[in-house]
Structure 1
Amino acid sequence: MRTARLRTVHPVLWAGWAALAAGAVLCVAGWYGVSGERYAERQLPYLASCTVPGAALVVAGAVLLAHGGQALAAARVEELYGLLVATAPEDAGHAPRPAVAPLAVSGELAAVPGGTLYHRADCPLVAGKPEAIPVDAGLLAGGGLQPCPICEPGLDGGPGAGDA
């Protein structure tokens, strides 16, 4: 899925490389001609006909390469953005799937001693920790524990639903 803009970038890059190479050849030819002449008045034709145009071609080639590289990068970013925002057509008969599966669904509550949050027992923050202790209504009534913002234990109407 290449865009038309991506196809037009390559000639700019090729032109840049060609200008850079031609400029380098002219600079070398000018240097060679100047180096063979002893007097400055005989060196001026080589400077005017080879070295100055060669330097101009080197600069033009560098500008074309920089522009072509930026255009190529911009075309790739546009292509990737198009792939990122492209969505598959939704079936009319099916309900859309939820974006994220719930992290924890357990009705049991747990907390880590010394912590300030209570969690569902299968919350990734306390699951598998041997020091986690079960939380009952007495601990929640004390008001020292807040519901975990990750597993949201008080949102399902279970234990602690009125304390959140």
Structure 2
Amino acid sequence: MRTARLRTVHPVLWAGWAALAAGAVLCVLGWYGVSGERFAERQLPYLASCTVPGAALIVAGAVLLTQGRNALAAARVEELYGLLVAAEPVDAEGPGQAPTTPLAVSADLLMVPGGTLWHRADCPLVAGKAEAVPVDARLVRSGELGPCPICEPAEADD
């Protein structure tokens, strides 16, 4: 799926780089031609045939590169969205409905030193982390730690 989208993006990026290179070459040729002429009447053909088209190619190349990078970013976002949608459980209750069972149900409370939240022990944010320590009750009472919005430990204490 990803390679199909990226194949359509790469030609745009290559075309952008090619236009930038061709524009730079034309600008250099125009400058070289103008620098060898003393009179303005003899410099105009170099400006008209090399420098102006070279500048236009540079602008076109910049637009193509921007478009290619936007398309590449859009393809990546689409791919991530597809992965997110595919990861949803099959037994979901319906769109927009929260599950009735909590994500974590343990009564043990943990915190990560230096963190701002306290969690249930089986919360996915602290489960398996060696640095997680039991919650200090005075930190909770002082308001320095807040309840985790994922496992919602405050609801279990009510």
Pairwise TM-score range, normalised by the shorter structure: 0.5 to 0.7
When residues 101 and 27 of structure 1 are mapped into structure 2, their CA distance, relative to the original with a 3 A threshold, is: same
Q: Aligned partners of 2:61, 2:81: CA distance in 1, in Å? A: 30
From 100, 105, 124, give the equivalent of 2:103.
Answer: 100
When residues 4 and 61 of structure 1 are mapped into structure 2, their CA distance, relative to the original with a 3 A threshold, is: same
State the partner residue of 2:62.
Answer: 62
The aligned amino acid for 2:156 is: E
Q: Aligned partners of 1:149, 1:101: CA distance in 2, in Å? A: 8
Where do residues 25-104 of structure 1 align in structure 2 (5 Å cutoff)? 25-87=25-87, 100-104=103-107
Kindly state the Cα deviation for residue 19 of structure 1 after the two structures are TM-superposed.
0.1
State the partner residue of 1:153.
Answer: 157
Kindly state the Cα deviation for residue 84 of structure 1 after the two structures are TM-superposed.
1.5
Kindly state the Cα deviation for residue 128 of structure 1 after the two structures are TM-superposed.
5.3
The aligned amino acid for 1:51 is: T
State the partner residue of 1:118.
Answer: none
Kindly state the Cα deviation for residue 81 of structure 1 after the two structures are TM-superposed.
1.1
When residues 45 and 128 of structure 1 are mapped into structure 2, their CA distance, relative to the original with a 3 A threshold, is: closer
**Structure number having the greater helix percentage:** 2
Q: Aligned partners of 1:29, 1:10: CA distance in 2, in Å? A: 29
Kindly state the Cα deviation for residue 53 of structure 1 after the two structures are TM-superposed.
0.4
When residues 47 and 129 of structure 1 are mapped into structure 2, their CA distance, relative to the original with a 3 A threshold, is: closer
Kindly state the Cα deviation for residue 149 of structure 1 after the two structures are TM-superposed.
6.2
State the partner residue of 2:142.
Answer: none
When residues 57 and 10 of structure 1 are mapped into structure 2, their CA distance, relative to the original with a 3 A threshold, is: same
| Identity between Structure 1 and Structure 2 (%) | 76
Kindly state the Cα deviation for residue 5 of structure 1 after the two structures are TM-superposed.
2.2
State the partner residue of 2:147.
Answer: none
- Per the normalisation by structure 1, the TM-score is 0.59
Kindly state the Cα deviation for residue 89 of structure 1 after the two structures are TM-superposed.
7.2
Kindly state the Cα deviation for residue 152 of structure 1 after the two structures are TM-superposed.
2.1
- Per the normalisation by structure 2, the TM-score is 0.62
Q: Which runs of 5+ in 1 are unaligned?
A: 92-97, 106-126, 132-147, 155-164
When residues 73 and 42 of structure 1 are mapped into structure 2, their CA distance, relative to the original with a 3 A threshold, is: same
The aligned amino acid for 1:13 is: L
Task: Say whether the 8 Å CA contact 1:6–1:76 is kept in structure 2.
Answer: no
When residues 104 and 16 of structure 1 are mapped into structure 2, their CA distance, relative to the original with a 3 A threshold, is: same
Q: Which runs of 5+ in 2 are unaligned?
A: 92-100, 109-133, 139-151
RMSD: 3.0
Q: Aligned partners of 2:38, 2:12: CA distance in 1, in Å? A: 41
When residues 128 and 19 of structure 1 are mapped into structure 2, their CA distance, relative to the original with a 3 A threshold, is: closer
Task: Say whether the 8 Å CA contact 1:31–1:51 is kept in structure 2.
Answer: yes
